Structure 1
Amino acid sequence: MNERKASHLNHSDLWEKWKEHGDLEAKKMLIEKYLHIVNYVSGRLAVGLPKNVPKDDLESNGVMGLIDALEKFDYERGLQFETYASWRVRGAILDGLRQGDWVPRSVREKAKRIEDAYQQLEQTYLRSVSDEEMSQYLDVSTKDFQHMLQEVAVMSLCSLEDPIREEESETRLSLMIDEKAKNPDYKVNEFYLKEALVQGLEKLTVKERTVVSLLYYEDLSLSEIAEVMSLSPSRISQLHSKAILRLRGTLDKQKDLLMRKD
């Protein structure tokens, strides 16, 4: 198939040629047609990442996710490929970031300190705690605590996408989505984890819940959320970090309880 002839084919023709006949030229054209998804997703993810993470690496992993989506997508079901591909591309980029271990150990340690502090204080006071209370508990100034939140913001990007247990593919975010029926033991554990997630969301402040909702449900970028909420991007990043660290603490605590029951 030459370029001139191929350019007149619509999406349905291309999908048929690729899926039914294994036409590699059609596959190449589909990749080109949907490459904007990789650019869009990688651009949004790059906003919250450190400067030392090359955007080229994000795009390379994203292209692999797009190719995987093209190979696994069932075009005859009439579903929206863009939505399916976006999740595949995002997942491939996040997988690449995890494998690259791009978060410094010192940042991981700070994130763990903050997560443990939130869990301890909220268990003690049975309410959301202020930045001042967190600063006092961590024995740092409020300004230093804000700076810590800014530093660990690079970790919170993947937090809800990370597996609940290292050996499993089930993620925290997937607990918010309906799944096909599973075995009774799994359903019981899933029920308690969902309950823990709901409780964790209820403990968040209004602003933190708004950020989580706009980011994970409305699919806005941090800069877009900043504009919607009339706050600076750095402030949105801090709110996101606090929300994710608190949710992680709640879910990890529930996970430990379930593992002890097992």
Structure 2
Amino acid sequence: MDKKKRDGAVTDKKKRDELIMKYAPLVKNIVERISSRLPSHLHVKEDLMNVGIIGLISALERFDKKRNVKFETYASIRIRGAVLDELRARDWMPRSTRNKYSKLEDTFASLQRLLGRPPDEEEMSRYLNVSLDKYHKILDEAKGVTLLCSEDLPPDYHETHANYHFLDQIDQNNPFSSIATNELRVVLKKAIDTLPDKERLILSLYYYEELTMKEIGKVINLTESRVCQIHTQAILRLRGNLKTLRGVYC
């Protein structure tokens, strides 16, 4: 950790404890949003809350108000990063499962190249030789595997592209860290621009407006489970497009 005192960093223990209590609801909100994207058999919320508090403490110690960023924004990034690091360290997703959904990402990209446009669900199900209901079940099963990349892309991008606010501060733990930040933004914007309108809307409502899946469903008149499926499809499609654009693998 950088030992240099930053303008805005909290070093007084009593003050720090007060701020931890103040921002504990922020930690809870982030953990609950991430937990909702995990498979139901994983019971890690309490552990993730503890890790999130550690992320909050790190934010309090490292915050520099000279950067002209709100503390809540900075803390959210640190908390989310700490939680995702913990999930990565646990490596709960079997390699076979990761490979399965990596192939699904490739299928999105391949069909898009073939058709010259994003494939719809019917085209995907036919290509995979499964029924539409089975395809929807595949998306339901894939919701956990999409988490670590979709949530790995938090917001600073909103300065020039507000609808892409969920593409946030790129840090050293991000899977895209090998690309220069400016170049990454161009690549990500290009990949997002290829998404169908409804998928872009759901990503924007979820990551930028921070609505829950249930709230999004009410806005666009869909069930919560259907919104989850479209969100998962959007992330898988986005990751496939990124592979094509930059050879980047999450």
Common fold, TM-score beyond 0.5? yes
Aligned to 2:159: none
| 1:30 paired to 2:19 | yes
Cα separation, partners in 2 of 1:143 and 1:254, compared to 1, 3 Å: same
| 1:244 paired to 2:242 | no
Picking from 113, 116, 135, the partner of 1:123 is 113
Tell me the distance in 2 between the aligned counterparts of 1:153 and 1:233.
13
> How much has 1:39 moved relative to structure 2?
1.2
> How much has 1:63 moved relative to structure 2?
0.6
What amino acid is the match of 1:237? Answer: C
Tell me the distance in 2 between the aligned counterparts of 1:114 and 1:65.
33
> How much has 1:146 moved relative to structure 2?
0.8
Tell me the distance in 2 between the aligned counterparts of 1:175 and 1:153.
18
Aligned to 1:92: 82
Tell me the distance in 2 between the aligned counterparts of 1:147 and 1:41.
26
Q: What is the SS of the residue equivalent to 1:127?
A: coil
- Structure 2, gaps ≥5 residues long: 1-6, 154-163, 171-178
Aligned to 1:166: none
Tell me the distance in 1 between the aligned counterparts of 2:152 and 2:73.
20
Cα separation, partners in 2 of 1:194 and 1:126, compared to 1, 3 Å: farther
- Check the 8 A contact 2:81/2:152 in 1, yes or no: no
- Structure 1, gaps ≥5 residues long: 1-15, 164-172, 180-185, 258-262
User: Highest CA radius of gyration, 1 or 2?
Assistant: 1
Q: What is the SS of the residue equivalent to 1:26?
A: helix
Cα separation, partners in 2 of 1:66 and 1:135, compared to 1, 3 Å: same
> How much has 1:195 moved relative to structure 2?
4.2
Tell me the distance in 2 between the aligned counterparts of 1:34 and 1:175.
21
Equivalences, count: 224
Tell me the distance in 2 between the aligned counterparts of 1:45 and 1:18.
27
Cα separation, partners in 2 of 1:72 and 1:142, compared to 1, 3 Å: same
